[in-house]
């Protein structure tokens, strides 16, 4: 709150344009433009839409800077679009004690995922959330660590061979610059996606046998690219028929793959077993709960498969890329691993005793959060940071721009894992760092993601020296913030005979 009379959202200054503009007071330029636009003069509404499509990260960081880390208004046409850059305001939006905010633009995702913890609101979301929490407890996390180690070791055995192997497992062209005894990974993000998807399938569904990991990943990539293209199109533009067809086909293939998986499930102590077992609780109105239909089971499984591997794979890819360019941190992490677990695979308790390894993953998530922006909309008129918001106002809270703010993190664009050790990170507000979201809709699989990342990084560093290939990586900005397609990495076996060979825990 900012006093007895909160300001209207229209009084929040617009963010300055990216190009040169006439000399006038920056604090009032946005209001002047808004007043002229409302009077039928000056530029047409929607002046920030092209920059949101072309350079969203720069726009969000500029928004945070110009708003003195509070609220900034973007000209996106009709309605209100505010960038929330104050961690305390982010806390209000994500915690949402008054149920004033909801997740907008979920219609396309519902066509793919149906109703589940990612797409639903209200009682349906609460039921799905309870099911999610049952499969993310400590016992399941310990089992996940073992499964991730098995899958990782299987993949690393292919890395230990001589020559480059493509993302489909086939040998690269002889023209590849791979040096003898090393393994060139043509796309580190795709490599991590395949690895983490296999691990999630085994952990949550019992098996990844007869499941086409590459096809699933390809269809998921198509769905995400189509949704991004459709939602970032100019207002009033007709959807591309080609994009619509590609989206419908890929969404259908994803659901068909999961329906086949569910139909062949043999039962067990996993997510599919939980969802297909007879319900043992009453429904909200006190009557006996109905068992889930195959489509409802598919909704839940598909959501967990996507959420359980996509962001973790992206963060792992960034972690390895950052480590490849910092020999000192890599050496220190490898020493920590050797002291803690030697050559065996770590469990959750081991990972808790490796603070630098955890700090590497935390710092990668700070610099390159896969969920680089979180969108909410107001379901009714409300107030935020002293600003009156109408119903239907769109709010963007960006982990990327807030986590790269020099206000909270000195040298914000540098990879400095030590900033997370000891008391170094003390003093920052709660939502100066929120790659897993927050509040009631925070990621229920946060612990699984951290354990998965810890196991994969440990096994890679136990067996390989990671080297960069080419120029520093750049980001591809879509629904997730991923390394650009084709970002390469080189893995050189430390001891070729042992790379990828898992030493069992005593």
Mean pLDDT for 227-250 is 84
pLDDT band at 360 (very low <50, low <70, confident <90, very high): very high
pTM score? 0.86
Find out whether 443 is annotated in a ligand binding site: yes
Comparing 500 with 481, the larger pLDDT belongs to 481
State the average pLDDT over residues 298-303: 90
DSSP per residue, 71-123: EEE---SSS-EEEE--HHHHHHHHH-TT--EE----HHHHHHH-SSTTT--HH
Domain ranges across the chain: 108-282+290-493
Banded model confidence at residue 215, pLDDT cuts 50, 70, 90: very high
% pLDDT > 70, the chain? 84
Average pLDDT (116-129) is 85
Residue 289, SS3 per DSSP: coil
- pLDDT at 27 > cutoff 70: no
Measure CA 435 to chain center.
7
Phi, then psi, of 82 in degrees rounded to 5 = -120, 135
Alpha-carbon separation of residue 76 from 330, 394, 451, 501 (angstroms): 43, 10, 40, 54
At 201-212, the pLDDT tens digits run: 998 888 888 889
CATH classification of 108-282+290-493 is 1.10.630.10, yes or no? yes
Question: What is the H or E stretch that residue 321 is in?
Answer: helix 294-324
Q: Which of 258, 129, 279 is nearest to 204 (CA)?
A: 258
Q: What angle do CA 119, 203, 462 make, to 5 degrees?
A: 115
Tell whether the model's pLDDT for residue 28 goes beyond 70. no
Tell the residue number behind the tokens 């060979």, with chain if given.
501
Token pair in block for residue 113: 């995922």
What are 110's strand-pairing partners? none
41 pLDDT tier (thresholds 50, 70, 90): very low
User: What pLDDT was estimated at residue 116?
Assistant: 87
Question: Which pLDDT score, from 0 to 100, does residue 506 have?
Answer: 37
Asked whether the predicted pLDDT for residue 30 surpasses 50, the reply is: no
Average pLDDT for residues 312-323, to the nearest whole number? 97
What confidence score (pLDDT) does residue 505 get? 42
pLDDT band (50, 70, 90) for residue 19: low
Length reported for the chain: 506
Three-state SS across 329-378?
Answer: HHHHHHHHHHHHCCCECCCHHHHHCCHHHHHHHHHHHHHCCCCCCEEEEE
Residue 227 pLDDT greater than 50, yes or no: yes
Mean pLDDT, residues 413-430 = 88
Average pLDDT across the chain, whole number: 83
pLDDT above 90 for 236: no
pLDDT at residue 223 is higher than 70: yes
Is the pLDDT score of 491 beyond 90?
Answer: yes
**Res 25: pLDDT:** 32
Q: pLDDT at position 4, please?
A: 59
pLDDT, position 45 = 59
Which of helix, strand or coil describes residue 484?
coil
Task: Give the pLDDT confidence of 423-470 residue by residue, as tens digits.
Answer: 877 778 999 999 999 988 888 788 889 999 999 999 999 999 999 999
Stretch 372-387: mean pLDDT, rounded?
93
**Of the ranges 113-122, 187-196, 389-398, which one carries the lowest mean pLDDT score?**
113-122
pLDDT score of 165:
38
Q: Are 381 and 389 in contact (CB under 8 A)?
A: yes
The pLDDT of 290-296, averaged and rounded, is 86
Out of 74-88, 249-263, 311-325, pick the least confident: 74-88
Could you give the residue ranges of the DSSP H alpha helices within 135-186? Answer: 138-159
Q: Which residue has the higher pLDDT, 486 or 79?
A: 486
pLDDT(244) > 50: yes
Chain CA centroid to CA 133, Å? 19
pLDDT tens-digit series, residues 330-344: 999 999 999 999 999
Average pLDDT of the segment spanning 232-242: 75
The DSSP secondary-structure symbol of 499 reads T
Cα distances (Å, whole numbers) of residue 322 to 23, 72, 159, 187: 41, 31, 19, 15
Residue 95 has pLDDT above 50, yes or no: yes
Alpha-carbon dihedral of residues 480, 485, 487, 489, nearest 10 degrees?
90
The model's confidence at residue 503, banded by pLDDT at 50, 70 and 90, is low
Euclidean distance between CA atoms 49 and 29, whole angstroms: 18
Strand pairing partners for 14?
A: 73
Dihedral angle, C-alpha 68, 71, 77, 79, nearest 10 °: -160
Residue 179 pLDDT: 52
- What integer is the mean pLDDT of 483-498? 84
- For the ranges 54-63, 123-132, 254-263, the lowest mean pLDDT is seen at 123-132
């Amino acid at each position: 709150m900012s006093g007895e009379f909160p300001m209207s959202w229209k009084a929040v200054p617009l963010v300055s344009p990216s190009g040169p503009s006439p000399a006038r007071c920056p604090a009032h330029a946005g209001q002047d433009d808004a007043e002229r636009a409302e009077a039928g003069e000056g530029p047409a509404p929607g002046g920030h839409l092209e920059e949101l499509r072309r350079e969203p990260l720069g726009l969000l960081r500029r928004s945070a800077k110009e708003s003195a880390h509070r609220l900034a208004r973007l000209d996106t046409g009709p309605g209100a679009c505010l960038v929330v850059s104050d961690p305390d305001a982010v806390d209000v939006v994500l915690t949402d004690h008054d149920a004033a905010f909801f997740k907008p633009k979920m219609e396309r995702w519902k066509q793919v995922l149906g109703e589940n913890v990612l797409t639903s609101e209200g009682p349906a979301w609460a039921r799905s959330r309870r099911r999610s929490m049952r499969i993310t407890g400590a016992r399941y996390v310990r089992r996940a660590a073992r499964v991730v180690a098995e899958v990782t070791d299987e993949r690393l055995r292919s890395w230990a061979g001589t020559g480059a192997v493509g993302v489909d497992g086939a040998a690269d062209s002889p023209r590849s610059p791979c040096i003898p005894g090393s393994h060139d990974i043509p796309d580190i993000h795709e490599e991590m996606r395949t690895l983490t998807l296999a691990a999630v399938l085994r952990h949550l569904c019992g098996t990844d046998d007869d499941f086409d990991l590459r096809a699933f990943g390809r269809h998921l990539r198509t769905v995400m690219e189509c949704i991004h293209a459709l939602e970032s199109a100019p207002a009033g533009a007709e959807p591309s028929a080609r994009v619509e067809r590609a989206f419908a086909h890929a969404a259908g293939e994803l659901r068909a793959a999961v329906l086949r998986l569910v139909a062949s499930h043999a039962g067990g102590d996993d997510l599919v077993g939980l969802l297909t077992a007879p319900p043992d609780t009453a429904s909200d109105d006190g009557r006996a709960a109905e068992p889930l239909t195959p489509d409802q089971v598919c909704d839940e499984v598909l959501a967990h498969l996507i959420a359980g591997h996509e962001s973790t794979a992206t963060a792992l890819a960034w972690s390895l890329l950052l480590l490849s360019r910092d020999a000192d941190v890599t050496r220190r992490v490898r020493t920590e691993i050797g002291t803690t677990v030697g050559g065996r695979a770590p469990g959750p308790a081991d990972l808790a005793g490796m603070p630098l390894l955890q700090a590497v993953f935390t710092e990668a998530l700070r610099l390159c959060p896969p969920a680089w922006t979180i969108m909410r909309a107001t379901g009714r008129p409300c107030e935020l940071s002293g600003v009156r918001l109408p119903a239907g106002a769109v709010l963007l809270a960006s982990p990327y721009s807030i986590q790269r703010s020099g206000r909270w993190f000195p040298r914000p664009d540098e990879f400095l894992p030590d900033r997370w050790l000891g008391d170094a990170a003390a003093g920052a507000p709660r939502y100066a760092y929120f790659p897993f979201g927050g509040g009631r809709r925070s990621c229920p699989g946060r612990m699984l993601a951290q354990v998965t990342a810890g196991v994969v990084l440990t096994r890679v560093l136990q067996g390989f020296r990671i080297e960069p290939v080419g120029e520093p990586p750049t980001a591809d900005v879509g629904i997730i913030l991923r390394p650009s397609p084709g970002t390469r990495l080189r893995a050189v076996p430390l001891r070729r005979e042992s790379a990828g060979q898992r030493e069992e825990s005593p």
